[in-house]
Every structure is written in structure tokens, then in C-alpha cells.
Structure 1
Amino acid sequence: MFTALDNHIQLSTELLMFDVLLILTILTIWLLRKRQIRCIHETGGAMLYGLILGLILKYTDRQWNKKALDVHGCESLNHTTPSLAANITLDNDRHKHVGEQMAFAPEVFFNVFLPPIIFQGAYSLNQRRLFQNSGSVLTFAFLGTIISCAVIGATMYGFVKLSVLLGQTRDGDFHLTDCLFFGALISATDPVSVLAIFTELRVDSNLYILLFGESVLNDAVAIVLTYAISTYSQSGGHHTFSVSAFFFSIGHFIAVFIGSLSIGLSFSIITALLTKFTRLSEFPLLETGLFFLLSWSAFLSAEACGLTGIVAVLFCGIAQARYTFHNLSTEAKTRTKQLFEFLNFLGENFIFCYMGLALFTFQNHNFKGIFLSGAFLSIFLARACNIYPLTYLLNIGRKEKIPANVQHMMMFSGLRGAVAFALAVRDTCTVARRTILSTTLMLVFFTVWVLGGATSPMLAWLDIRVGVDPDEDKGGQASDQVKSAENNTGEDGTPAHAASAPEGQTQASRTPGVWHKLDKNYLRPALTHSGPPLTSTLPVWCEPLGRLLTSPHAYENRERLNDTEADCSSVKLDTAGEDKGAPEGDAETVTEPAHQDDLLEGDLGLGHCADPNWKE
């Protein structure tokens, strides 16, 4: 019998193996960074170690191979007594292959490893540059992901039909919905190795934020798309096109996205208000714990409601960085940033190790040559149909065009990673889904090793600018205008260059955007200690609510109403000599110039930010 003690020893051995893999990965990362080797990224090293361990487990356990043959030969026992069949099963479990047992439930990836990865991506976004390029980022993340899904789905459906004609696939194993499902999950980009090299080399800031913003947001879109396609299949559209199922799935897509977004924002508002009106800043450990648990609650609540927690935790992370972060004590700011950075690092490397291991230890791989070839072709075709046409349309309205070399780099940087694998591994019940998992693994290996390793040569070949100071980046021209504005302001605080703006400028370039007004006059004063008192911005009949939500610090700093906050990605977390729990603006040193968030205004669609022009 396989006792509880045996099971405990088995589980401890499996965890020890993963622990050793992560230790080797960390040492390899140190060596790569010390020697400045960029041909392989840390995630590629993690997968390599997983592959080696999987290979060892697969071909060294001779006893398991022998027992497996014995069990497969017991089909004649189908009509024996149930008790005999149960005894045989239990006896086989004792000799079960270690690699076969080293399999985590798919929900572990979704509920434990993915939330910190997605949250860290949102929490560390440079929001100033994100809003500068928000229209372009949203276009690539939403419309681009839908185009990618459709192109990959249609291409793969053609290859499936070819596979059926050649006898490699049985007719009926794959449906159009399976191909679209594959298109949705493989559209989730994860250019982690590319972005790491971009950070190290300090590439053009606009290229970085376009790729980073797209990868963070399109994960959420891809996940909701997979939900919508699954809903379509379950609503009667599995074999033939159904109008009712189609519109139902579209409604489901919109409802899930909006519902998940609302839950994420709700938890960020709750966290902001709690950290604003309590004295948790006196206890940084409790403050950090509450911040972490409420952020994770956004994910779990959305999942419990039948929505998608990835969307919830994504927008929760963006809002937490925008508002709650500024209510935290200096020590809690440091802890939250380091905590999520560590969880993201550990989670990503664990998943990539597991992917390497799964290539040899997953017992039901289904590799089909034609399907795999079509997948390689379709991801490049879909990426091209995504980047080039959308960039052409965006450049019509952008004042600062996206140049051809940046477009080629974006095309090249469409790596796949943790999200695609986590979506593929959730369901392996059918031949189609097992084929999708096996193909996804091969695509992840190829894009991380080949495309990720070729990033540095490609940057040089495309003549992409490196060593760029974000504050002096010509692409961030508005930042220079703000610096100039700080030295050229009128007595009333109005920037001199804004006051002398030409008459021919558009309304968007002469006045703050609606979002900026809402954020500056209502959201930030309500959720943080900064901004004008709500009693001076809300209507008279809302004065009681204004007094309730306005921080005492807002009255103390009434004369200083210009925005001076930066998002958490641009804050130097140096705790030396700073007072814990001090109000925003007193306890942190920012790396960006004052008035930086004024850049959130302007034409949010197309990447150019107008000059601020307002008076207090």
C-alpha cells in the first residue's frame, strides 16, 4: 500500500527537485548578468534546467517503465471484481513514475502563480508614459489581440483540414472553435526576456512602453477571449455557426470584462480609503499585509463570481499604483514593491521550469507535424497583421510617428510565455486540447530561446537607440516641455508657454483632458492626501461628502495644488532619514520632474501629450 508517509516523502522529493532547479536558475542568472551574456535569458535557463530534469526522470526510472507495461497489459481484467481492480491500481501507485506525479493542478498556476505576475506588471507600469501612448497601447492590446486570434484561428483551421486530408488527424477531432481557442491563448504575449534586455540597455522609452503595455493588457484580453470562445462552444456553436451563440458570447465577453474590471477597481478603492483614513502606516508590516491580501482578494472575488481574476488584478494593480501607493508609509512602499517583484520573479521562473519538465513528463502529449508547422507560420503572420496595419492607422493621427525600425522590433518581440501555457494546461481532456498544449510548449521554447536570444543583435541591426535617459528622451518631448515650464511660469502658476499658445492649436492641446480633470479634482483628493480639498471642487450639495473624504493634509497644503506625485515606477525608495507614514510629497524622492502627471492630459489616443494650461 502507498501509505501517507510514502506520499509525504514523495511530495517532499518533488518540491526539493523544484527548489534545486530554482537555485540553479538563480546562480545561472547571476553568472549571465556578471558576464553580460544576453544570448540566453533567465527564463530560457529555467526551461533548460526543467528539460534536463524531465529527461533524467523519463529515462532513468526503469522500474516504472516495467510496471507501466504490466498495467497496460491488464485490459483483460475489465470484468473482474471491483475490489481486485482497486488493489491493482493501488499497487501500481507505489511504483508510479516520479515525473508523472510532479504535476500541479492547473488551478495552482491560475490562483497562486499568475496573480502576482499580472499584478507586478500593472503595479510597475510607468503610468506617465502609458498615458502618453495609451491610445496606441490599447489599440495593440485590444484590437491587435482580436486580429491575432482571428488570423491564427483561421490559419490553423486550414492546416487542420490539410491534416485531415493527409490522414494525420481524424475528421471531427478539431473544430473551428478549437482553432480559435488556440488563437486566443497563443495571442497572449510575454516578452519578458526582451523587456529585461530593453531595461538593461535603456532602449527608446516609447518602444519599451508600447511592448510592455501591450503585453500587460493583452494577457487580460486573451484570457477573456478564451472564456468567450468556450461560452460560444457551450451555447450550441461547437460544430456550426450559430447567430444566437455568437451574440451571446460577445455579450459574455463584454460582461466578464466590465465586471472583472469593476471588482478590481472596487478593491483598490477600498484599499486606498483604508490606508488613507487609518493609522496603519504606524505598523508597516500590517500595512503591507493588508495591501497584499486585498489585492489578491480582487483576483479571488472575480473568480468566485464566475468572472476572470486576471482582468480584476490587472486593473487593481494599476489603480493601487496610482492611488493607494501614495498613502503607504515609506517602509511599506519599499516592501510592497520588493514583495511583488520577488513573487513575480519566483513565479515566472517556477512556471518556466515546470514547462521544461512537462515536455518530457506529461503523459499525453500529442505532437502533430502539420499542426505544429501551421502554428509557427500563423503566429508570425498574425503578428504582422497586428503590428503593421494598426501602426499605419495610428501614425495617421500620431504627431510622433512610430518609425519602421520600431515596428520591426515590435513584430520580432512577440514572445509567448506563462499565460499561454497556463491557459493551455487547464484543459487536456480532448485530442485537440492535448495537441494545443504540446504545440504551445514548443512555441514558448522557440520564441524564448531563439527570438529572446536574438534581441541584442536585432536591436543593433535595426539601429534602435540604446542608452537613452528617459527624462531626456526625444520621444518624451513633452517631458522637456514640462521642465521648461517649471522655469517659465507666470505669477498665477500658469506655464508661460501655455499662456502664449498659438491660436491655431486644437482644444485638446490648450485645455486639460476630461480624465485629467476628473483625476486631479475628484479621484486623487478622495483617495489620497493630495490635491485640492473636495469641498472646493464638489457641488455645494455634496459638501458633507467632501468634508468626509478630504484629508486634513489637503487643507494644510491648500496653496500647493499642482500635481507633484509620480507613480510607483518612478519613486526612489530610499528610506534613510525619512519619516514613516508622512503624507504624500513629504516622504519620497521622485526621479521625475515636478508637474510630471500633467502629461496625463491631451490626446490619449495617439501618443502625444499636450502642454498643461490651467490655473488654480
Structure 2
Amino acid sequence: ILMTTKGKSSHVLVFSEDLFFIYLLPPIIFNAGFQVKKKQFFRNFMTITLFGAVGTMMSFFTISLAAIAIFSRMNIGTLDVSDFLAIGAIFSATDSVCTLQVLNQDETPFLYSLVFGEGVVNDATSVVLFNALQNFDPNQIDAIVILKFLGNFCYLFVSSTFLGVFTGLLSAYVIKKLYIGRHSTDREVALVMLMAYLSYMLAELLDLSGILTVFFCGIVMSHYTWHNVTESSRVTTKHAFATLSFIAETFLFLYVGMDALDIEKWKFASDSPGKSIGISSILLGLVLVGRAAFVFPLSFLSNLTKKTELEKISWRQQVSNLLH
């Protein structure tokens, strides 16, 4: 979308990565963790980790190998193995924000916790995977490289989770100890918001998973910090986070839509518009195939460990998980 001013064209609402990661994403993920049904989430935590970690790796290999087989036969430029692996790492990541918009936690609590939880764990896996590919050498794949990757993933997952839990507990301690007998609603709400944002920024500064950190920070704050503030602060905090999350989601989809309608990007993306559409269609198909490669097998394995039908992932839920 372009706006002409004194003969010069300027972009309006062009998607910015800094705007997305610094201002829009944190309130959305934090509110999801703050409002999540903790009992349902932790009851299915092993299944969530299975989908988020193992499933992401399965999707990565499926998309990467398929991309090598298909795009190597097409004249789309000079791409090597590392580029195809990067494509697999990027498109194996799921979108937690869209999950919050499409699924309703009250109507489908099990599917919501499964899909959204997978997206959160998937973020940590994708970050480690993409960082590992930055210095990837196809001729030097051995057990040490694989063990190093697993070690980096465990470090990122544990460190991000610990930072989120620590920040959440710290906020509860600060409010309980510093505001005894002189509670102030505006200060309590501001302190909770600042501590939540601090957890995200610390994670990004330490090269950890900000999504994972702020999500667990939200869970801990909803269990401890929220009960240490006054009743008015509880109501204000709950509605404030929900409002900020809604505004961020609205702006996010607005920015993405405006950026997708940028005609100049489509002009220079490829010599032929039909070729661009063809490549996009192939990538969309690979994403669906990559998700199907782990959703159905891992759902089958997960169901083997469940005792009742209510705990099992139904066929309808598996298809919904695939499409999300």
C-alpha cells in the first residue's frame, strides 16, 4: 500500500520485524500463558513436548528433502543444500498467534493446549535448528554434531523456561514484600506488565527463546503474582492483558495483510508472476506434507499411552492439528 506525498511514494503499514518481535508478539504470548488452563496444559505436557520437539524435527527433514527433490529440478537460482535445509527449518515452525485466533480455549481445551503448546515448544526447537544451520557443513555430520545440537536444544529449553519461572516468582516476591499495607492498583498493574516484558527482553538479549520465557512467566504470574495483588488489581490486570493482546493481534494481521499487498515485492520476486505463485503453492503443499508426516504417527503413539478415550487424540482433532 503506497501513499503519494509531494510526488514521492512512501509505504504505509509495511511489516517490520522489530515491530513484530518487540511490541506485538510479547503481549499476545504472555496473555495466552496468563489465561491458559494450567491443569489441562501440564496434563498433556509430554504430548506437547513430543509434538513440539520430535514433530518439528520430522517436519524439518520431510520439507527439506522434498524441497531438494523438487526445487533442484527447477530454475529458481543457485541454491545449495544449506539453503534447502534453511527452508525446512523456517517452514517447520508453527504459528502460535493464529492458533489463539482460530481455536477457543473454552470450547476445545484439549486441542487448544495441544496446538498452542506445540507452537511454544516448537519455537525453541526452530531457534536451535536454524542457528545450527548457520555454520552447517554437509560433509561434517557425525555423532558429535548431533549431540551438540541436542545439548543446545536442552540448554535453550531449560534456560528459557527457568528465566520465565524466575521472573514470575520474582514479581510475586516483590509485590508481596514491598507493598505490604500500601497496595496501589496502578503500581501493581504497572509492575506486573514491566516484569513480564522484562522476561521477554532478557531472553532475547541472552539469545534464548523469548516466546518460551514470556509464556511460562505468564503461567507463573497467574498462579502466584495474581493472588498477591488487591482485588481491583486482579480485575484490572486480567482485562488489561486481554485488551493489549487483542490490540496486538489486530495490528499484527493488519500489518501482515498490508505487507502481502505490496505490489512492488511481487513485481521483483520473480520474472514471472506465475512462477512465484507456483513456488508458493509448492511450499504450501510441503508444509502440509511435513505436518502430516508427524501429526498422525505421533498421535498414534500418544494414544497408545492413554487409558481412556477422552484422553486420546481423535481423528478430527488430528486433522485440526494438521491444518493449524
TM-score (norm 2): 0.84
Equivalent positions of 1:57-72 (< 5 A) are 57=2
Amino acid in the other structure paired with 1:329: T
After the TM superposition, which segments of 4 or more aligned residues of structure 1 sit over 6 Å from their partners?
none
Equivalent positions of 1:299-310 (< 5 A) are 299-310=200-211
Alignment CA distance shift 1:220-1:194 (3 Å):
closer
**Displacement, 1:267?**
0.6
Give the match for residue 119 of structure 1: 30
Give the match for residue 59 of structure 2: 148
Q: Distance in 1 between matches of 2:90 and 2:323?
A: 15
Equivalent positions of 1:282-431 (< 5 A) are 282-361=183-262, 363-365=264-266, 366=269, 368-401=276-309, 406-414=314-322
Determine whether 1:97 maps to 2:5. no
Give the match for residue 171 of structure 1: 78
Secondary structure class of the residue paired with 1:190 = helix
Give the match for residue 45 of structure 2: 134
Q: Distance in 1 between matches of 2:241 and 2:97?
A: 20
Alignment CA distance shift 1:187-1:349 (3 Å):
closer
**Displacement, 1:308?**
2.2
Alignment CA distance shift 1:355-1:402 (3 Å):
same
**Displacement, 1:173?**
6.4
**Displacement, 1:270?**
0.6
Determine whether 1:214 maps to 2:114. yes
Alignment CA distance shift 1:333-1:270 (3 Å):
same
Alignment CA distance shift 1:223-1:413 (3 Å):
closer
Contact 1:117 1:343 in 2 (8 A): yes
Alignment CA distance shift 1:152-1:356 (3 Å):
same
Q: Distance in 1 between matches of 2:124 and 2:155?
A: 10
Give the match for residue 70 of structure 2: 159
Alignment CA distance shift 1:337-1:241 (3 Å):
farther
**Displacement, 1:149?**
3.0
Residues 10-42 of structure 1 deviation map (CA, whole Å, 9 limit, x = unaligned): xxxxxxxxxxxxxxxxxxxxxxxxxxxxxxxxx
**Displacement, 1:259?**
1.7
Secondary structure class of the residue paired with 1:162 = coil
**Displacement, 1:388?**
2.0
Contact 1:157 1:179 in 2 (8 A): no
Q: Distance in 1 between matches of 2:319 and 2:135?
A: 35
Secondary structure class of the residue paired with 1:377 = helix
Give the match for residue 227 of structure 1: 127
Give the match for residue 571 of structure 1: none
**Displacement, 1:297?**
0.4
Q: Distance in 2 between matches of 1:411 and 1:153?
A: 23
Equivalent positions of 1:9-48 (< 5 A) are none
Q: Distance in 2 between matches of 1:338 and 1:384?
A: 37
**Displacement, 1:253?**
2.4
**Displacement, 1:189?**
7.3
Q: Distance in 2 between matches of 1:379 and 1:349?
A: 25
Equivalent positions of 1:453-464 (< 5 A) are none
Contact 2:165 2:217 in 1 (8 A): yes
Alignment CA distance shift 1:129-1:235 (3 Å):
same
Q: Distance in 1 between matches of 2:312 and 2:227?
A: 39
Q: Distance in 1 between matches of 2:190 and 2:323?
A: 34
Residues 262-312 of structure 1 deviation map (CA, whole Å, 9 limit, x = unaligned): 211111111111222233672111111111101110001111122221111
Q: Distance in 2 between matches of 1:273 and 1:349?
A: 34
Secondary structure class of the residue paired with 1:97 = strand
Contact 2:58 2:294 in 1 (8 A): yes
Give the match for residue 242 of structure 1: 141
Contact 1:185 1:222 in 2 (8 A): yes
Secondary structure class of the residue paired with 2:73 = helix
Amino acid in the other structure paired with 1:295: A
Give the match for residue 262 of structure 1: 162
Amino acid in the other structure paired with 1:380: L
Contact 1:295 1:316 in 2 (8 A): yes
Q: Distance in 2 between matches of 1:294 and 1:362?
A: 41
Larger radius of gyration: 1
**Displacement, 1:138?**
3.2
Give the match for residue 272 of structure 2: none
Contact 1:190 1:415 in 2 (8 A): no
**Displacement, 1:314?**
1.1
**Displacement, 1:224?**
2.5
Amino acid in the other structure paired with 1:153: S
Q: Distance in 2 between matches of 1:120 and 1:264?
A: 14
Q: Distance in 2 between matches of 1:381 and 1:104?
A: 28
Contact 2:48 2:121 in 1 (8 A): no
Equivalent positions of 1:532-543 (< 5 A) are none
Q: Distance in 1 between matches of 2:251 and 2:315?
A: 32
Secondary structure class of the residue paired with 1:98 = strand
Secondary structure class of the residue paired with 1:306 = coil
Answer with 243-252 or 294-303: which moved more: 243-252
Secondary structure class of the residue paired with 2:92 = helix
Alignment CA distance shift 1:338-1:241 (3 Å):
farther
Q: Distance in 1 between matches of 2:230 and 2:42?
A: 26
Amino acid in the other structure paired with 1:98: S
TM-score (norm 1): 0.47
**Displacement, 1:186?**
4.4
Q: Distance in 2 between matches of 1:133 and 1:388?
A: 17
Report the aligned-residue RMSD: 2.9
Q: Distance in 1 between matches of 2:177 and 2:122?
A: 37
Q: Distance in 1 between matches of 2:262 and 2:277?
A: 20
Alignment CA distance shift 1:153-1:332 (3 Å):
farther
